[in-house]
Amino acid sequence: MPELPEVETVVRDLRLSLVGRRLTGIRTSSRPLRVKWSPDWEPCLVGRQVSTIRRRGKWILIDLAPTGLFVIHLGMTGQLTVVSRAKPAENHVHLEVDLDDGVDLLRYRDIRRFGSAVYYADESAWSDGRVEDLGPEPFDLTPRYFREMLAATSRCLKAILLDQRAVAGVGNIYADESLFAARLDPRGRGCDLKPRRAERLRTAIAAVLKRAIESRGATIKDFVGGSGLKGGYQNEFTVYGRTGQPCRSCGRPIECMRLAGRSTHWCPNCQDE
């Protein structure tokens, strides 16, 4: 599933090719995404201009002028790209938005259809319609917030990092990578984490995500950025997906266990705190 670095990569790519463009037409497939497309959204989108594109957690927010918000979630296999109209559509394309030059279009492809593309009148309507509240962005975590949030729960660290209400945007890949960078056992409880170690984890999360963004995220199978280019951070994984391979720090085999309902990769030797 695309996480913060992958979504941020899509957003940065789309800013270069989409901001300032006007939406002139929309086509959707007959197969629904996670949220069924409403024909009522089309007159709200067609004719609007893209003013800004931003990210909140794992969500892509396309602000429209004079009003409106187009919100897209990539789910597990979503791809959102600006392409030439002359490029043949691959299988599993569920949304195409024509752009004002008549040459390019915005295309949303999603093999598993767990993503969504929804129009909202404004950001408050989107916030009211979400299933869960979003916590602060990882780059905005204050030491006090992070320390107090951890102290208030007995859940394991892996579960905490996966909780979008605690920290927005982190998923399975970057939870594992951040815990390794902080040298912390993913089974450790939040309430047991000493302030020094909490701070180590807070800074590790930001550092790992920053480096992943610089590498355009990770392409394990389906992910591409808004320009269609793949990511490269998968070549830098320290633990994720490396079960049985030697730890890059100590050489001991990376192990995998089930935590918080997800596969969790770690080095028992390096992550012993």
What is the predicted pLDDT for the residue at 135?
Answer: 97
Q: Tell whether 273 is covered by a domain.
A: no
Q: What is the pLDDT of residues 113-162, one digit of tens each?
A: 999 999 999 999 999 988 789 999 999 999 999 999 999 999 999 999 99
Query: Does the structure show a pLDDT above 90 at 233?
Result: yes
- Give the number of other CB atoms < 10 A from CB of residue 223: 25
- Buried (b) or exposed (e) across 53-68, using 16+ Cβ within 10 A? bebbbbbbbbbbeeeb
Q: Answer for the pair 112, 150: CB distance below 8 angstroms, yes or no.
A: no
- 165 and 244 part of one domain: yes
Q: Tell whether 16 is covered by a domain.
A: yes
Residues marked as catalytic:
2-3, 58, 262
Q: Tell whether 233 is covered by a domain.
A: yes
- 75 and 151 part of one domain: no
Average pLDDT over residues 70-82: 97
Average pLDDT over residues 252-271: 97
- 90 and 177 part of one domain: no
pLDDT band at 1 (very low <50, low <70, confident <90, very high): confident
- 122 and 10 part of one domain: yes
Q: Tell whether 115 is covered by a domain.
A: yes
Residue 79: give its domain's CATH number.
3.20.190.10
List CB contacts of 173: < 8 A, sequence separation 6 or more.
Answer: 3, 218, 237, 240
Residue 157: give its domain's CATH number.
1.10.8.50
Q: Tell whether 182 is covered by a domain.
A: yes
> 80, 112, 129 — which closes off a domain?
129
> 111, 129, 147 — which closes off a domain?
129
- 157 and 245 part of one domain: yes
Q: Answer for the pair 147, 195: CB distance below 8 angstroms, yes or no.
A: yes
User: Please, is 272 exposed, middle or buried when counting C-beta atoms within 10 Å of its C-beta (0-12, 13-18, 19+)?
Assistant: exposed
- Give the number of other CB atoms < 10 A from CB of residue 97: 24
Number of domains in the chain: 2
> 129, 148, 171 — which closes off a domain?
129
Q: Tell whether 271 is covered by a domain.
A: no
- 8 and 65 part of one domain: yes
Q: Tell whether 230 is covered by a domain.
A: yes
Supply the range of the domain harboring residue 197: 138-266
- 123 and 217 part of one domain: no
Q: What is the pLDDT of residues 30-75, one digit of tens each?
A: 999 999 999 999 999 999 999 999 999 999 999 999 999 999 999 9
Rounded to the nearest integer, the mean pLDDT of the chain is 97
Q: What is the pLDDT of residues 93-115, one digit of tens each?
A: 999 999 999 999 999 999 999 99
- 153 and 249 part of one domain: yes
- 73 and 90 part of one domain: yes
Q: Tell whether 60 is covered by a domain.
A: yes
- 122 and 149 part of one domain: no
- 189 and 158 part of one domain: yes
